[in-house]
Chain A
Amino acid sequence: MPRRSAIVASAIALMLAPAAVAACGGDDDSASTTSSGTNAAQGEQLHKGVTLTLWTMPNSPKPKEDLQKMVEPFTAKTGVKVDVQEVGWDVQFDRIRNAAVSGEGPDITQAGTTQVPFFAALGGFLDLSDRVDEIGGADAYADGIWKTTQVEGQDGTWAIPWFTEARSIYYRKDVLEKAGIDPATAFTDLEAFRTTLQTIKEKVPDIEPFGAPGKKAFDLVHNVMPFVWDNGGAELSPDAKQATINSPEAQEGVEFMAGLIQDGLFDKSQLERDGTQVENQFKGGRLAVWIGGPWVLGSIGREEDDTWVPEARENVGVAPMPTGPGGKGYTFVGGSDLMIFKHTKHPDEAWALVKFLSEDQTQKDYAELLGMFPARLDPQQQVGQSSENHQAFFEAIQSGRTYAPIPQWGQIENAYKTRFGNILDSAAGVGKDYSEATVKAELDAAAKEADGLLAQSAG
């Protein structure tokens, strides 16, 4: 009878069993890595014939092959081979966590920027502080991006930014023209943003003005937070000790987004889709305005991407996110970093590979392949100059914001995601009746849950 719960229990136990073993073995490893770590800085005495294992997530159409090709020059130059392994986004969190606590895993892994503090807190990764000067340190990166390599209240640099994305407004130039709206002023501030959607609704009835995914999207919080920031709200207090998502400012931001649904400007049927599905709705010509990352810009030129309809493909415009009442416009900046495992037997070679992946040309080539932006300022700027739309993204990245780098952020983000999802659902008429009190109650619940998560401790 308890068969199924036993499966869950055994899954938990089996998944974590290596952790206990690793906890004993971990210390020896770290001792050996620090000793070999010192001679690393001295120069490029790399062992030829060493094979590094690198975990990557599905970033590009052929993730493994694309990256394998990208590191060929590195192998040619150093003699260090790289075995690229692909780990799906659906399992990467579990697998990196297990590798970190068990000591069984690759040498280097890609990690989402908001995951870095959690992984770093597990203790399974190398502190790269002594080495980062070799690649220009913090100065070589935009502030919001460098912040993703740190852990709040702790010394150390746990990751190196690899590639970057930020969210901007995508719009259909032809639809704006039909509606008689000037793109230059269409999205300048929140009021203009709403008016633009209203005008599209009235003048171009055969297209939905705006759409965004609901609670199925892994990045729902990234879509909502810019409106909260614009209104002067924040996810946590500046010292990251307390949730502030239920402040009046934050509530105003959430209500702005929910209000778009209430006013019929936000196609509510998009709420049952995930991020990629809504993206395809914009590409498929069903949405006039949508908020998304730079990869969509990159896919315009790809003939084989048949999710685009011609009228959408040929009329893409990009605008920076609107500014709020405070006069500043925020957007979420994210992407992926590279982390070196503490248990690696080849820290010097691993660092050499990270350095290679941080070179201007590699950064540009790989980012272009992904439709992302390079993580480093110089190549970023060069990509920004390539077109007007790219320039909008470059600017977005510079003013981009990310969340407090604390280990519990991932959990807090999940809690917020749940509540934001409930609020959007109720605005769409499929949850509790929508009112200011409903929003307040959901945000209070989100803050309460987040405070509970912040209070977790090791003791």
Chain B
Amino acid sequence: MAQTTLQSPPEAGSARALPTRAGRPRRRRTLFAYWLIAPAVAFMVLVHLVPTAGGVLLSFKRLNTFTFARLFDAPWAGLENYRSILFDTANPLRDGFFGAVQNTAVYTFWTVSGTLAGGLAIALLLNRQMRGIRLIRTLMLTPWIVPSFVVAVLWQFMWQSDVGIVNKVLVDYTHLLSERPIWLLGENSMWAIIIPSVWRGLPFAMIFFLAGLQAMPPELHEAAAIDGAGPFRRFRYITLPLLRPLIAVQLLFGVIYAAYQFAIPYIMLGSNPGPDADLMMTLIYRQSFSNNLFGFGAAASVLLMAAMCVWVAIWYRAFKRDLEVT
């Protein structure tokens, strides 16, 4: 869905160019184009659509310790997996599912808003001419080139309550807190995964916004300044509206990326992050691969995918106009 919406502007562009060539040559050209994209389409169908369809099919099967080896031959369960996840209060896994939904929503909200706000703030700071600006911009990009795995391992050490640098700074050096908080357990563990996620996402958001800011015609700001608009009003009424398409695209991918986050919570908190930080992906992974409940896992995956489809639909409605402008 995302791909098709983003593709529409180029199509419109090529339609304008086409009328110059008419009749047969055009059809031959189209055929040639189909041949060119055929391998890519075949590849997509094979590694993407077929497994997705397989996953959806599995969500209608009763797959457990005793049946998963039969895979597609496993007993048909119809909508049972979905019903028990969503409506069966006697299902011991239902609470865990809704807990994970809630945690994923919280995680996604804070990660995406933190990344976008922080990225924009840094981009505004770096959008000026000053000595060493290239070096600073390059340095700001470093979290982006660190693999998620390394990010998670590094932060896991930094968060440790007795020897980690975070508590050393908060308690021993600055005395901001008198008692050492435990970061990797309980309610704090949600922040322990949100903060590294934001830290890692910032550079990309920053470079995105920086590109937008630099493409912005300076005359608008100059004219507004002459009319007496202060920096805040210029930001509010000029910068922000012009950045709207960029924000839209980042929102779309940011939410999808965060909702499907796995590496950081899994590495930092283990396959079972506990009730305060268990995300959809850690839940699905754990129930499928550690507990052989592939039917549950597949149904939960499909529900997550459906939620993302809804999100894309909402997003499309909200930002449709902005995309047409680009």
Contact = CB atoms under 8 A, between A and B. Distances in A.
A237 interface: no
B292 A20 contact: no
Given A430-B182, A430-B185, A1 B270 contact: no
B51 A9 contact: yes
A222 to B, nearest CB: 16
The secondary structure that dominates the A interface is helix
B182 A5 contact: no
Given A10-B48, A422-B274, A19 B294 contact: no
A457 B257 CA distance: 37
Contact of B289 (A5, A94, A448): A94
Contacts of A184: none
B66 A407 contact: yes
A317 interface: no
Contacts of B93: 449, 452
B91 interface: yes
Nearest to A417: B272
B55 A13 contact: yes
Given A215-B272, A425-B274, A23 B186 contact: no
A47 interface: no
A140 interface: no
Interface string A405-439: 00110110011011001100100111100000000
A8 B73 contact: no
B65 A411 contact: yes
- A contact residues, range: 35 or more
A4 interface: yes
Nearest to A447: B92
B92 A445 contact: yes
Interface string B1-30: 111000000000000000000000000000
Interface stretch (A267-275, A319-327, A372-380): A267-275
- B contact residues, range: 35 or more
A356 interface: no
B182 A268 contact: yes
Contact of B69 (A23, A271, A428): A23
B186 A411 contact: no
A13 B54 contact: yes
A408 B251 CA distance: 42
Interface in B46-73: 47-52, 54-56, 58, 64-73
A12 interface: yes
A16 B68 contact: yes
B65 A422 contact: no
Contacts of B51: 6, 9-10, 12-14
Q: Which 10 A-B pairs have the closest CB atoms?
A: A9-B55, A430-B186, A10-B51, A4-B260, A272-B184, A449-B92, A458-B66, A13-B54, A101-B69, A1-B2
Interface of A: 1-6, 8-10, 12-14, 16-17, 19-20, 23, 93-94, 101, 118, 121-123, 214-216, 268-269, 271-274, 407-408, 410-411, 414-415, 417-418, 421-422, 425, 428-431, 445, 448-449, 452-453, 456-459
30 contacts: A1-B256, A2-B308, A5-B301, A5-B302, A5-B305, A5-B308, A8-B281, A10-B47, A12-B55, A12-B288, A14-B51, A19-B68, A20-B70, A20-B72, A93-B290, A123-B69, A215-B274, A216-B270, A269-B180, A272-B183, A272-B185, A273-B160, A411-B290, A422-B274, A428-B186, A430-B185, A430-B186, A452-B91, A453-B65, A456-B64
